[in-house]
């Protein structure tokens, strides 16, 4: 149901790191409830809640052991119901994370499969090895082998796991899996959730299990990326379940190009409403995401323009729980942290599409300050370290690579105040809090009329009141080494967005006209743009 929700501003909450109400060092649902007024005050109207289901936490909740129960450290089902109600009372809808490519190996289905129940064995992808060899040569998202022995190794049975070995992939050939998942979706929709963010949704259906073309990243992916089978499942789920509740879906879709994203979201096909594509998140990497290269703003601009013009409706995001913090990644930070964070927000809200914000982005939180792998919890980072070690990469280099790319960079606890525990917890936080919390925190930012939050509120409110930003077309005017200028237009009304990605003054390369609508320095641009300046002009 895109029409109903497309103009929402969506705020992603990573529950573990958001707000801890009981002092156990882990964020929880009561903590989220206590911050709803704050979220509302930002002008947010939808929350995307990362998994809160029961989980052994191998992958922080993306390994689900019970889709209909709440993780005890997050609270109870009563807490969840209260969250839903309190959010609704404030005009905020909630979308849940739907993780249906895999379950946890501690899910009852997998446990019964292991205990020998044929019915449940068929819920998973279990294949025979051949003469001591694995069933195929596929790769794995978390830098490990995707096949793990199932039962007695002498039988040479293996189960597939595209992610960790505690995340066995579901067998979408089995109609029972479809039935179970539909029922789970109905369970949450009946409670009143507005829809789902669908985890790695374009890989759920494996069209074949043949060996893949050898590749640096994910050998075998051609057998499961956006397959026909996946399209059919998505259309069926929409028809059988989602449309009955006018639910909204955003699919996390890995390695999609424009054509694939179009096919997954084309209204006439009735599959997903929107997708998270990743090409712009790949603009500072070489091949795989663990190899970062120097950020060149022009590469980001090129990808943004490509998607803005190539797809009618995008999701616009710079951060989530898997990506480094945008202010660290796309600006020099330091003395430019606040102005840079505002420029990035200005750019994000000026693009055409549904805007997604990740917790902490509204105060310009930075990448974590980790000193060694011992401080990192993320399973992916630990696996990458093992893999890199296997390749003979020695330690200062391994750590440098992981420190930059670890998903924990975005998962450090939310910085609410300068008090100990950053106002996040009264206990020992599950992950190291960034020591800059004494300066970078919500309380302090709110005291500043020119703070990042104030700017966030301003640009968000402006977008919500502007037909041109909500519905207008996108046209690139200029893309240079540092400066990005584009125009949004609707019925002859125009807005021009100007962004300077340089930590220095840059001469404006094009002639700009119009009155300043929003600006991160206050006031308009002269002939020169100041470091990380953002201006939105109304062209009369």
**Binding footprint of ligand ISL on the chain (CB under 6 A):** 59, 62, 99, 141, 163, 199-200, 252, 254, 278, 289, 321-322
Least CB distance from residue 225 to ligand ISL, whole Å?
12
Using CA atoms, how far apart are residues 368 and 375, in angstroms rounded to an integer? 10
- List helix spans (H) across 281-394: 297-310, 326-330, 337-350, 379-390
DSSP class of 60: T
Residue 252 bears catalytic tag: yes
Nearer to ligand ISL, 379 or 495 (CB): 379
Query: Which residue out of 28, 45, 252, 533 is catalytically annotated?
Result: 252
Least CB distance from residue 282 to ligand ISL, whole Å?
7
How many residues in the chain? Answer: 540
What's the CA angle centered on 175, arms 170 and 180, to 5 degrees? Answer: 65
Q: Which residue in this structure is represented by tokens 């009563």?
A: 78
Burial class (CB in 10 A: 0-12, 13-18, 19+), 168: buried
Residue 149 tokens, joined: 């022995």
Query: Which residue out of 97, 105, 199, 319 is catalytically annotated?
Result: 199
Nearer to ligand ISL, 303 or 516 (CB): 303
Residue 22 bears catalytic tag: no
Using CA atoms, how far apart are residues 193 and 329, in angstroms rounded to an integer? 33
Nearer to ligand ISL, 278 or 478 (CB): 278
Neighbours of 512 (CB within 10 A): 20
End-to-end CA distance of the chain: 34
Residue 265 tokens, joined: 């979201």
Instruction: Name the closest residue to ligand ISL (Cβ).
Output: 62
Nearer to ligand ISL, 52 or 254 (CB): 254
Least CB distance from residue 41 to ligand ISL, whole Å?
27
Strand 483-490 and strand 506-507: the pairing is unpaired
CB-based contact 361:319 (threshold 8 Å):
yes
Nearer to ligand ISL, 94 or 200 (CB): 200
Least CB distance from residue 203 to ligand ISL, whole Å?
9
Least CB distance from residue 79 to ligand ISL, whole Å?
23
Strand 285-286 and strand 288-292: the pairing is antiparallel
CB within 8 Å of 102: residues ≥ 6 apart: 63, 161, 162, 163, 167, 168, 169, 170
Using CA atoms, how far apart are residues 203 and 384, in angstroms rounded to an integer? 21
Residues tagged active-site? 199, 252
């Amino acid at each position: 149901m895109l029409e109903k929700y497309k103009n929402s501003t969506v705020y992603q909450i990573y529950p573990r790191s958001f707000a801890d109400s009981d002092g156990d060092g882990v964020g929880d649902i009561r903590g989220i409830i206590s911050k709803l007024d704050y979220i509302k005050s930002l002008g947010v109207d939808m929350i995307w809640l990362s998994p809160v289901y029961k989980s052994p936490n191998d992958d922080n909740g993306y390994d689900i052991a019970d889709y209909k129960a709440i993780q005890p450290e997050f609270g109870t089902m009563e807490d969840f119901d209260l969250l839903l109600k309190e959010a609704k009372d404030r005009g905020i809808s909630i979308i849940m994370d739907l993780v249906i490519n895999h379950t946890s190996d501690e899910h009852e289905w997998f446990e019964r499969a292991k205990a020998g129940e044929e019915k449940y064995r068929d819920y998973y992808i279990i294949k025979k090895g051949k003469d001591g060899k694995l069933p195929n040569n596929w790769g794995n998202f978390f830098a490990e082998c995707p096949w793990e022995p199932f039962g007695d190794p002498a039988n040479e049975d293996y189960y597939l796991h595209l992610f960790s070995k505690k995340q066995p992939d579901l067998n979408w050939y089995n109609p029972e899996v479809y039935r179970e998942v539909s029922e789970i979706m109905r369970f949450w929709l009946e409670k009143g959730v507005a829809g789902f963010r669908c985890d790695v949704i374009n890989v759920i259906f494996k069209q074949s299990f043949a060996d893949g073309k050898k590749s640096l990243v994910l050998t075998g992916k051609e057998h499961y990326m956006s397959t026909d089978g996946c399209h059919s499942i998505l259309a069926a789920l929409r028809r059988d379940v989602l449309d009955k509740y006018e639910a909204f879906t955003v699919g996390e879709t890995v390695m999609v190009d424009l054509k694939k994203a179009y096919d997954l979201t084309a209204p006439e096909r009735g599959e997903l409403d929107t997708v998270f594509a990743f090409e712009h998140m790949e603009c500072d990497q070489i091949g795989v995401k663990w190899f970062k290269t120097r950020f060149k703003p022009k590469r980001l601009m090129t990808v943004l323009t490509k998607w803005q013009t190539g797809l009618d409706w995008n999701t616009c995001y710079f951060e989530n729980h898997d990506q480094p913090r945008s202010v660290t990644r796309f600006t020099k930070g330091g003395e430019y942290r606040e102005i840079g964070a505002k420029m990035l927000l200005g750019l994000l809200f000026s693009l055409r599409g549904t805007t997604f914000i990740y917790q902490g982005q509204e105060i310009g939180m930075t990448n974590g300050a980790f000193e060694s792998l011992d401080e990192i919890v993320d399973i992916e980072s630990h696996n990458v370290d093992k893999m890199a070690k296997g390749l003979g990469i020695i330690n200062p280099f391994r750590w440098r690579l992981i420190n930059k790319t670890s998903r924990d960079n975005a998962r450090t606890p939310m910085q609410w105040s300068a008090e100990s525990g950053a106002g996040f917890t009264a206990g020992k936080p599950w992950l190291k809090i960034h020591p800059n919390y004494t300066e970078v925190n919500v309380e302090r930012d709110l005291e500043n009329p020119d703070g990042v939050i104030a700017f966030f509120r301003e640009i968000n409110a402006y977008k919500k009141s502007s037909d041109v930003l909500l519905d207008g077309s996108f046209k690139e005017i200029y893309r240079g080494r540092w400066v990005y200028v584009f125009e949004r237009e609707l019925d002859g009304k125009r807005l021009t967005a100007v962004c300077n990605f340089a930590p220095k003054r840059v001469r404006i390369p094009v002639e700009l006209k119009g009155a300043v609508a929003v600006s991160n320095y206050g006031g308009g641009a002269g002939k020169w743009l100041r470091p990380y300046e953002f201006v939105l002009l109304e062209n009369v």
